[in-house]
């Protein structure tokens, strides 16, 4: 049975009296074991949602429930234990003087015994392919490598939900693919919820569900295929349409029937190949 892990109920938030509302009366639910993508233009409120989930910000209106607990001053420390979050800027979340110390930071905060700490550090660095850099200082790492370390730190604390706030933006396509596969493996193995925040439509294809944000409101909540099929509307709210979706569109406009909205190269190929064999 599906269990609701995170629930937003009529949540509104602003950064201060004099600021406009960053989130306007939003509601949604995220189930445990689910991969959810949150997508939206710059400033649409994605990072704000992430920070509300683990109580780094508290909403002025509405209610947020995480793991059955309402997020407030008393519960935030318990909630943060089960929420692993990777921020946008990899440099400013690197606390340790070396890669090893940085991955250890979250474990030290949780009072994990030293032997187990070492084990977990090695395993998680191995998972993101950073074992060779274990003694490197942050200034000797590239942005993408720092993002890998940040993800390793989250894997090490084995949370119940992983929030990635554009956490793979600095990785090359191959690296991103590898890391997302690693995260997905961990997610499936431990039945975690995964919240992947992005403004790149290419990254939502693997998600179970997509929340599209626009101007601080939930603009659409649907599956990736449906989101892909609304090209004009997405473009209007400032999102870039992936090449494959555009190509599929152009093809159908010149009379090639594309029935299933393709999400990637392979799916488009299958469509075309079927069409060809019917001719």
Partner 1 sequence: MNNALIIGQYVPSNSFIHRLDPRTKIVIIFFFVIFVFFANSVASYGLLTLFSISSALATKIKLSFIIKGLTPVWILIIFTFILHLIVTKEGEVLFEVFSYPIFSGAVILGAAIALRFFLLILVTSLLTLTTTPIEITDAIEHILQPLNRIKFPVHELALMMSISLRFIPTLMQETEKISKAQASRGVDFKTGPMKDRIQAIVPLLVPLFISAFKRAEELAMAMEARGYQGGDGRTKLRELKIERRDWLTFFGFALVILSLFLTRS
Ligand X SMILES: Nc1ncnc2c1ncn2[C@@H]1O[C@H](COP(=O)(O)OP(=O)(O)OP(=O)(O)O)[C@@H](O)[C@H]1O
Nearest-angstrom CA–CA distance, 193 and 84: 10
**Cβ nearer to ligand X, comparing 19 with 279:** 19
Q: Which helix (H) or strand (E) holds 181?
A: helix 173-190
Shortest separation between residue 98's beta carbon and partner 1, angstroms: 8
Task: Please tell me whether residue 89 binds partner 1 under the rule CB under 8 A.
Answer: yes
Question: Choosing among ligand X, partner 1, Mg ion, none, which partner's interface includes residue 199 (Cβ < 5 to 8 Å by kind)?
Answer: ligand X
Paired residues of 174 in beta bridges: none
Count of CB atoms within 10 A of residue 46's CB? 23
Task: Please tell me whether residue 47 binds Mg ion under the rule CB under 5 A.
Answer: yes
Question: Choosing among partner 1, ligand X, Mg ion, none, which partner's interface includes residue 22 (Cβ < 5 to 8 Å by kind)?
Answer: ligand X
Write the binding mask 198 to 237 for ligand X: x where contact by CB under 6 A, - elsewhere.
Answer: -x--------------------------------------
Nearest-angstrom CA–CA distance, 257 and 272: 9
How is 115-174 classified by DSSP, letter by letter?
HHHHHHHHHHHHHTT-GGGTT--GGGS-HHHHHHHHHHHHHHT--SEEEEESTTTTS-HH
| Among the listed residues 10, 43, 77, 135, the single contact to ligand X using CB under 6 A | 43
- Using alpha carbons only, what angle is made at residue 5 by residues 176 and 192, rounded to the nearest 5 degrees? 40
**Cβ nearer to ligand X, comparing 26 with 152:** 26
Q: How far is CA 70 from its chain centroid?
A: 22
Q: Which of 20, 40, 24, 19 is nearest to 166 (CA)?
A: 40
55 vs 77, 83, 88, 170, CA distance in Å?
Answer: 9, 10, 17, 26
| Among the listed residues 10, 58, 68, 77, the single contact to partner 1 using CB under 8 A | 77
**Cβ nearer to ligand X, comparing 23 with 157:** 23
Nearest-angstrom CA–CA distance, 240 and 95: 34
**Cβ nearer to ligand X, comparing 89 with 222:** 89
Nearest-angstrom CA–CA distance, 66 and 79: 7
Question: Choosing among partner 1, ligand X, Mg ion, none, which partner's interface includes residue 198 (Cβ < 5 to 8 Å by kind)?
Answer: none
Which of these segments, 18-26, 61-69, 113-121, 235-243, binds partner 1 (CB under 8 A)? 113-121
Shortest separation between residue 234's beta carbon and ligand X, angstroms: 15
Task: Please tell me whether residue 47 binds ligand X under the rule CB under 6 A.
Answer: yes
Write the binding mask 226 to 245 for partner 1: x where contact by CB under 8 A, - elsewhere.
Answer: --------------------
Which of these segments, 25-33, 89-97, 251-259, 260-268, binds partner 1 (CB under 8 A)? 89-97
Helices (H), 13-98: 46-53, 76-82
- Site residues, ligand X (CB under 6 A): 15, 19, 22, 40, 42-48, 88, 199
- Site residues, partner 1 (CB under 8 A): 51, 54, 56, 77, 80-81, 83, 85, 87, 89, 91-97, 100-101, 104-114, 117-118, 121, 137-139, 153, 157
- Site residues, Mg ion (CB under 5 A): 47
């Amino acid at each position: 049975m599906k269990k609701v892990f995170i629930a937003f109920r009529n949540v509104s938030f602003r950064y201060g009296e004099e600021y406009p509302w960053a989130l306007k009366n939003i509601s949604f639910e995220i189930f445990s074991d689910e991969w959810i993508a949150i997508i939206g233009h710059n400033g649409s409120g994605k990072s704000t949602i992430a920070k509300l989930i683990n109580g780094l910000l508290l909403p002025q209106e509405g209610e947020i429930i995480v793991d059955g607990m309402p997020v407030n001053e008393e519960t935030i420390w318990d909630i943060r234990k089960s929420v692993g979050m990777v921020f946008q800027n990899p440099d400013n979340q690197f606390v340790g003087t070396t890669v090893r110390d940085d991955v250890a930071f979250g474990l030290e905060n949780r009072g994990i015994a030293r032997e187990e700490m070492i084990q977990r550090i090695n395993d998680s660095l191995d998972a993101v392919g950073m074992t060779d850099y274990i003694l490197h200082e942050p200034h000797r790492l590239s942005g993408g490598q720092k993002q890998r370390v940040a993800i390793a730190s989250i894997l090490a604390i084995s949370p119940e939900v992983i929030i990635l706030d554009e956490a793979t933006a600095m990785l090359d396509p191959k690296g991103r693919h590898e890391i997302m596969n690693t995260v997905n493996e961990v997610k499936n193995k431990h039945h975690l919820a995964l919240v992947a925040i992005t403004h790149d439509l290419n990254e939502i294809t693997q998600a179970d569900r997509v929340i599209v944000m626009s101007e601080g409101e939930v603009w659409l909540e649907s599956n990736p295929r449906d989101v892909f099929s609304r090209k004009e509307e997405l473009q209007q709210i400032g999102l870039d349409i992936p090449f494959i979706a555009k190509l599929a569109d152009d093809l159908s406009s010149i009379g090639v029937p594309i029935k299933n909205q393709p999400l990637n190269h392979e799916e488009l190929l299958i469509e075309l190949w079927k069409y060809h064999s019917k001719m």
